[in-house]
Structure 1
Amino acid sequence: MTGLGVETVQHLAAAAGDPITSAGDGRLGFAVLAGIAVIVLLITRLKTHAFLALTVGSLALGSLAGAPPAKTIASFTAGLGSTVAGVGVLIALGAILGRLLADSGGADEIVDTILARAKGRAMPWAMVVIASVIGLPLFFEVGIVLLIPVVLLVAKRGNYSLMRIGVPALAGLSVMHGLIPPHPGPLVAIDALDANLGVTLALGVLVAIPTVIIAGPLFSRYAARWVDIPAPAHMIPQRPQVDERHRPRFGATVFTVLLPVVLMLVKALVDIVVDDPANGVQKVTDVVGSPLIALLAAVLVGMFTLGRAAGFTRERLSATVEKSLAPIAGILLIVGAGGGFKQTLIDVGVGRMILDLSQDWAVPTLLLAWLIAVAIRLATGSATVATISAAGLVAPLAADLPTAQTALLVLAIGAGSLFFSHVNDAGFWLVKEYFGMSVGQTLKTWSMMETIISVTGLGFVMLLSLIL
């Protein structure tokens, strides 16, 4: 589920039209299944590190699809590089902010306040509300790295099941990513189908609220039974050795955490309201509201509101930053390799193969859009690529639809793009590593949650289509 800018997404969509192999649909389908099977086998049976498994699986996919080795390597390398470039820096900045939050006592302040006000059954609901609000303007990966310290500390300190707390947070982030503009996928679909942004946003909220409730707090009850694991010790921010009197205040801590959220939300609102790249205000917000600058600003502010407030010296601040980066090296490699595998899938022509085959499906428009997005999501692992590809295919069908139905078509595509995240999705590996789960456990929880979001979202879209 990698967060990409609109221009980058459109470039990927265009590039997907030039596959690096001339293999037929049958051979491509076999290559995809074999490539995924190699990855799963290496990880589950041979206990190979996920980075190596994804690399080998990508090479196997290209080879079996008949692509020249040099082009396969180039595709994998380009995907790895673009993923690390787009997500890696954000993960690093988020890790620094998370370490500052933990070492200064700021995370303890948030957790203690939440535990004091939301206890027992209310905790999963509190987490889904927090995640949904934070996830509105954030890319999925940014939201994860900001919420992870809070999720892990709440689970440990309150003696809650990790899945009972983590699944609602992930559901809130994922629903916002797939259904609600200003995320890039929905925005591109709105543009491709010439849908009304305001109507799509309003209907998206109507669909998102019951969907996130079902996939978050309600499903987390079962996820906690299926996968009962403690929060990974190496990821849990330890209670810092700081004077309680010097612990950052709740207001300052929340301000620091929400600063990148606010900056990105302001950018999104200005983009929607002003919609003029030449406007001076929009030029400024485009810079300060970009994920990189917004997170960097939060880190710099956090050094004062969190670090200095806790009495950290310059040396202590430097040591905190250094300690934050070491644990994420493996995550960056795995997420990057997942991006490489995804790009290899796209470049061999899997997305176009599915689009070609789907043209003969005789089903209702909303369901057809959802099925196309599901198929592309399963094949490529990218929710954003699935959204833009499906939107491009069904765009002619939206020409004569009323405003509300066109907006629902956008939401049907967005719901389909979230279906069953698995080993070819960088988000799958991000969740797996952060929560310390095995591949099987991640499939039972994260992948199942994504599927529930997708199917439930479609259900409410179809229901609205009968009313509007």
Structure 2
Amino acid sequence: MESTAGLVIVAVLAVIALLFLVMRTKLQAFIALLLVSLLVGLAVGMPPGEIITTIEEGMGGTLGFIAVIIGLGAMFGEMLRVSGGAERLAITLMDKFGEKNVSWAMGLTGFIVSIPVFLDVALVILIPIIYSLTQKTKKSLLHFGIPLLAGLAVTHSFIPPTPGPISVASIIDADLGWVILFGAIAGLPAMIIGGPIFGKYIGNKIHVEVPDYMMEQVKDVDYDRDLPSFISVVSIITLPLVLILVNTTSDLVLSDDSTLQSVLTFIGHPFVALTAAALLTFYVFGIKRGYKKEEIQQITTKALEPAGIIILVTGAGGVFGEMLISSGIGDILADAMEGMQMPLIVFAFIAATVVRVAQGSATVSMVTAAGLVAPLIESFDVSEPMLGLLVIAIASGATVFSHVNDSGFWLVNRYFGLTEKQTLKTWTVMETIIGFVGFGVALLLSLFV
């Protein structure tokens, strides 16, 4: 089946099949992506040997980079969690911002904490502080909770080394320095509008108390317990980001044969930057705080468990993208987009949005959309900065319209004691604001790069 119409039909059926397998049969996304990739190869008449080779290349090419990054990031984040670094950030920022601006402090706390720590874990760590503030001020839980959620959601979607943007960057071969830079530029206004501004508005509309079944959590807040210093927490979280950004900048301003450029490229490579950050975390938040070497080993080993499935799903997304390239479907999609005169960044956002609304998982949405975008990149004149913006566009599309098929929806529903209708009015609207603001900034920046 090599006709244009046939390839288009295969592409459409592939996405439908993927959604069906994930949503209706509840097949694990890793298996679903692999199975659909196999079916695409068979449907377009690829020889069996070529199909297997394509799977190997897609998986290996993706995992060679992403497995290292996500593994290091997971250990780094778990050590920060265990040491109390997240609480230190929240408490210090609340003190600096003052009582009137606590919602801004919570937004910034979420923004920083979610760089190394998974969103759901960060929420569980910090929710007792939100409960305590609600009890103390008698304001709606949403007044403080929405800014925190917005900060967590923005960096979880936009800024490496969180799995989503890392996965997309790996599949479409984007430079992490540009992703970090544009993620911050798009993420800050998204956090501000979706967090403190929307939080104040919705907090006045819907008054929510601490759920009765969560009252024990309020008593667990110990503001006097020994925590790491604020400076050490912020320094170690930002260290790998700064090194990666310096690497990206050095490529622009220094000649390729410069010794300094070679040194900066090495220490600013994500492998080296995150290894340095992880080792510092083990020492500063582990050994210096009295943890035994065996305990640190147990903590960091446990951190790799949730990372494993994300790594595999992303690898399968790389296989899906590689199969679309090898089958010729990517060329057909590129021609169709040129015919419609649709910018690649708009297609990236729409593709991620459709998958997000259909099946719920932000990670699966990002990986699937990246797989659809990857084959198109060769047909367009895409610069390094533009690849970074494509990552943000995909992340934005995978953030909007969170509803009942998204695990994050139910996490917030439970911890905030909301009805389904209230969760749609709060969490869903907040996520949609973040996604559209992020995409709007990325689209605007795309006019200049």
TM-score by length of structure 1 reads: 0.63
Q: Are positions 1:60 and 2:39 aligned together?
A: yes
Give 1:259's aligned residue.
239
Instruction: Please name the residue that 2:331 is paired with.
Output: 352
Residues 240, 270 of structure 2: 8 Å contact kept: yes
Quick one: which of 146, 171, 182 aligns to 2:154? 171
- Cα distance between partner residues in 1 of 2:152 and 2:335: 37
Match of 2:126 among 130, 133, 154: 154
Deviation by residue 1:234-291 (Cα, 9 ceiling, x = unmatched): xxxxx999x934x3222112222222122112222322222x1211111111011111
Indicate the RMSD between aligned Cα atoms, in angstroms.
5.2
> For the Cα contact (< 8 Å) 2:348–2:390, is it kept in 1?
yes
1:282 corresponds to = 261
The whole-number CA distance in structure 1 between the counterparts of 2:96 and 2:39 is 52
The 1-side partners of 2:3 and 2:372 are apart by 22
User: In structure 1, what is the equivalent of residue 252 of structure 2?
Assistant: 272
**Residue 107 of structure 2 contacts residue 196 of structure 2 at CA under 8 Å; is this kept in 1?**
yes
Matches within 5 A, 1:143-292: 143=115, 145=117, 150-155=122-127, 157-159=129-131, 165-171=148-154, 213=192, 244-245=225-226, 247-274=227-254, 276-292=255-271
Q: Which runs of 5+ in 1 are unaligned?
A: 1-21, 135-141, 190-196, 231-238, 399-406, 423-430
Q: 2:30 aligned with 1:51, yes or no? A: yes
Aligned residues of 2:21 and 2:27 also touching (Cα < 8 A): yes
**Amino acid across the alignment from 2:283:** F
Q: Indicate if the aligned counterparts of 2:58 and 2:321 stay in contact, CA closer than 8 A.
A: yes
Cα offset, 1:455, TM superposition? 5.4
Q: Does the 8 Å contact 1:259/1:294 carry over to 2? A: yes
The CA distance in 2 between the partners of 1:122 and 1:26, in whole Å, is 57
Aligned to 1:420: 397
Asked if structure 1 preserves the Cα contact closer than 8 Å seen for 2:349 and 2:396, the reply is yes
Number of paired residues? Answer: 385
Q: C-alpha separation between the residues in 2 aligned to 1:56 and 1:222?
A: 46
Counterpart selection for 2:307 from 328, 332, 351: 328
SS at match of 2:228: coil
Letter in 2 for 1:361: M
Where 2:286 maps in the other structure, the secondary structure is helix
What displacement does 1:313 show?
Answer: 1.8
1:393 corresponds to 2:380:
yes
Is 1:298 matched up with 2:277?
A: yes
1:111 alignment counterpart: 90
SS of 2:340 mapped into structure 1: coil
Other-structure match for 1:9: none
| Letter aligned with residue 230 of structure 2 | F
Distance 2:387 2:312 in 1: 33
- Distance apart, 1:73 and its partner CA: 2.8
Specify the code of the residue in structure 2 equivalent to 1:97: F
Opposite residue 241 of structure 2, the aligned amino acid is V
Give distance in 2, aligned partners of 1:335 and 1:204.
20
What is the distance in 2 between the residues matched to 1:392 and 1:294?
Answer: 33
For 2:261 and 2:29, locate their aligned partners in 1 and report how far apart those are by CA, in whole Å. Answer: 41
- Does residue 1:24 correspond to 2:3, yes or no? yes
Alpha-carbon distance, 1:299 to partner: 1.1
Which of 456, 460, 463 does residue 440 from structure 2 map onto?
456
Shift in Å, 1:451: 5.6
Deviation at 1:63, TM superposition (A): 2.1
Q: Percent identity at matched positions? A: 23
The answer for the alignment partner of 1:88 in structure 2 is 67
Q: Is the 8 A contact 1:211 1:456 kept in 2?
A: no
Q: Is the 8 A contact 1:207 1:460 kept in 2?
A: no
CA contact (8 A) 1:172 1:216 kept: no
Determine if contact 1:76/1:340 at 8 Å carries over to the other structure: yes
Of residues 308, 313, 316, the one that matches 2:295 is 316
Moved over 6 A (4+): 130-134, 160-163, 176-179, 183-189, 201-209, 215-225, 375-380, 409-415, 431-437, 443-447
* Alpha-carbon contact 2:154-2:187 (below 8 Å) kept: no
Q: Go from structure 1 to structure 2 and tell me whether the alpha carbon gap of 1:456 and 1:40 turns closer, same or farther (over 3 Å shift).
A: same
